[in-house]
Structure 1
Amino acid sequence: MTSTSAWAVWRTRGMTRVYGHYDEAMLPLSPPAPALIAADIDGTFVDDTGAIPPKNLDALQRARENGLDFCLVTARPPRWLTRFRGLSAGAIYAANGAYILDAATGAILEDRGFSRSEVRAVARALAPVSGIALSAETADGFVRERAFPSAPAAGERDRESDATFTLLSEISCGAGKILAVSSLLDTAEFYREVRSRIKGLAELHVSTSDGLAELSPIGISKATALAHACHARGIEPAQVWAVGDMPNDLPMLNVAGVGIAVRNAHSGLHAHADALAPANTDAGVAHVIDAALRARALARTTLGT
């Protein structure tokens, strides 16, 4: 193999892998070279400090110059996405796809979140859970109950000025997602309890390993967000390479033509992803973009275009 800074994606024994050495013969022609790269943000597109690696920004510029589309699909709410405007093409999918934002302005194009009555119903269903405390990400900001920690494990980094203390059972607006923690139950027991009580009301997503439950409306997930992105572009999911690091990314990786886990990903993602990329701290998304550009160049050469 010829060594290079780009990472190649290749298939062997039915499994796609991403390696730190490049050989054109190993780039995939099936599934087809991608038209779109879809990436999670935390633990994937940004490093462990939350900064965007310069290599990722450089790779995005190369993608634009070569007609390769890119979008962000994240559990983060709209209030956290200002600095990502202009990086994604067309739309940013926030709160696991509950909010679809204009990529350039951040304006909410589509609200697919919980209605006020649905938030209240979820809150009532979870009320018996030991040590439960709730918060909600809304179109306008962050609402939390007084018992919800001001700096939860997910790194929401709430400030007192960001929060209105409100019982979610009495909330006056809808929400893109509901967050729940327990001060008394261990993580596994807590997730089991939440999952059993929200059946038919919401879906549980896990984007951290620290006991935070993220609840989305039925049918809202990163998979449906990716389906929306494909429909908007007139492409098929097989034309997408999706990159993530946590269990809530798995639905998106499963429906994409190639599902890629960064090296720092949750072990459950490693077990189900088609491919492995460098860690978020090593600008893994940049490596994926460069591999995709090489795959596209090879496909054009093969087709004689």
Structure 2
Amino acid sequence: MQTYESDANIGNIKILAVDMDKTLLTDERVLPQGLDERLDKLADAGIVFCPASGRPAPKLEEMFEGIKNRLAFCPDNGACVIYRGSYIYKSNIDVELYQQVLNRASEDPRAVPVLCCFDEFYVLARDHQYHDEISVYYNTINYVDSFEGIDFESNKISVFFPGYDAEPAFRETYSPEFSDKLYVTNAGREWIDFMNLGVDKGAGVAHLCEHLGIDIADAAAVGDTYNDIPMLERVGHSFIVDNAEEHMNVHAKWRIPSNNDGGVLTLIDAILAAR
């Protein structure tokens, strides 16, 4: 697989959409040193930086607190898109449909279901023992005895698997049962996410391009795992980090250094140098 230096048109990139966990973030889940000044340079060059993640908007914006109004965000695997502090796209799931998923996951002893309602999140009281793990991704968590009767505006259901068995659960249970009704995707070995059909990170980046009048051929994406595939296959410039799993090689054109080696920083430097 070719490295990023082989992208002859890297200087044409106008949007850079980047996955967070194991892509931009180090294995310690922190932003790489030197990112802030590079994001300033991207903004000055008119290039839009867009964190694209299964994480919800509040957590994403919190990580870029000082400059969030200069960025775009593609949270919840593309189920909403934010540009400079304002929502430009939302995709809400039908209440009856998300109740079906919540009921199924509530019956699964492997699963910890989370209802995502943009700024508020709902988890069963029985699963409070997993608060430390869940709160990494969700801020305002409301613990409820039952999901019955809840009818809040929601754009995503996430299911956490403490046993790191999300992949077999996806293959054996959740994809067969729900993929005809919802877009179901693995977010690593710990999570399965459910959004409306047609919603994914690739669609989210496409909505951003449309809003800004930018050809998606001039958009770039960086990722490492399953839920990054739709955006990697949709943009004109697709990159995976060196720590991505081998099965991701067929979904991107170029490779950059690993998350722990500042791969995204290296790519930003290459983009700016080619301008």
Task: Provide the TM-score with structure 2 as the length reference.
Answer: 0.85
2:117 maps to amino acid: T
Q: Is the 8 A contact 2:18 2:221 kept in 1?
A: yes
User: 1:45/1:165 Cα in 2 relative to 1: closer, same or farther (>3 Å)?
Assistant: same
Q: Shift in Å at residue 115 of structure 1? A: 3.2
Partner of 1:11: none
Partner of 2:75: 94
Q: Shift in Å at residue 151 of structure 1? A: 3.2
Q: Shift in Å at residue 174 of structure 1? A: 2.8
Q: Is the 8 A contact 1:137 1:175 kept in 2?
A: yes
User: Which residue, out of 189, 199, 202, partners 1:209?
Assistant: 189
Partner of 2:259: 280
Greater Rg by CA:
1
Q: Is the 8 A contact 1:151 1:158 kept in 2?
A: no
Give the unaligned 5+ runs of structure 2.
Answer: none
User: Which residue, out of 264, 269, 273, partners 1:290?
Assistant: 269
2:205 paired with 1:226: yes
User: 1:125/1:38 Cα in 2 relative to 1: closer, same or farther (>3 Å)?
Assistant: same
Q: Is the 8 A contact 2:81 2:207 kept in 1?
A: no
Q: Shift in Å at residue 241 of structure 1? A: 1.4
Q: Secondary structure at the match of 2:34?
A: helix
2: CA distance, partners of 1:183 / 1:40: 22
Percentage identity across paired residues of the two chains: 22
2:22 paired with 1:43: yes
Q: Is the 8 A contact 2:49 2:72 kept in 1?
A: no
Q: Shift in Å at residue 54 of structure 1? A: 2.5
Q: Shift in Å at residue 33 of structure 1? A: 2.1
1:111 maps to amino acid: K
2: CA distance, partners of 1:267 / 1:152: 32
Q: Between Structure 1 and Structure 2, which shows a larger proportion of helix residues?
A: 2
User: 1:83/1:154 Cα in 2 relative to 1: closer, same or farther (>3 Å)?
Assistant: same
User: 1:184/1:222 Cα in 2 relative to 1: closer, same or farther (>3 Å)?
Assistant: closer
Q: Deviations over 1:221-253 (max 9, x none)?
A: 001001011111211111111111221011101
Show structure 1 runs of 4+ deviating over 6 A: 158-161
2:70 paired with 1:84: no
2: CA distance, partners of 1:275 / 1:153: 36
User: 1:215/1:42 Cα in 2 relative to 1: closer, same or farther (>3 Å)?
Assistant: same
Moved more, 155-164 or 264-273: 155-164
Task: Provide the TM-score with structure 1 as the length reference.
Answer: 0.77
* Pairs within 5 Å for 1:21-170: 28-29=8-9, 33-81=12-60, 82-85=62-65, 86-87=67-68, 89=70, 91-103=72-84, 105=85, 108-124=87-103, 129=108, 131-148=110-127, 150-151=129-130, 156-157=135-136, 162-170=141-149
User: 1:69/1:101 Cα in 2 relative to 1: closer, same or farther (>3 Å)?
Assistant: closer
Q: Secondary structure at the match of 1:216?
A: strand
Q: Is the 8 A contact 2:80 2:204 kept in 1?
A: no
Q: Shift in Å at residue 154 of structure 1? A: 7.0
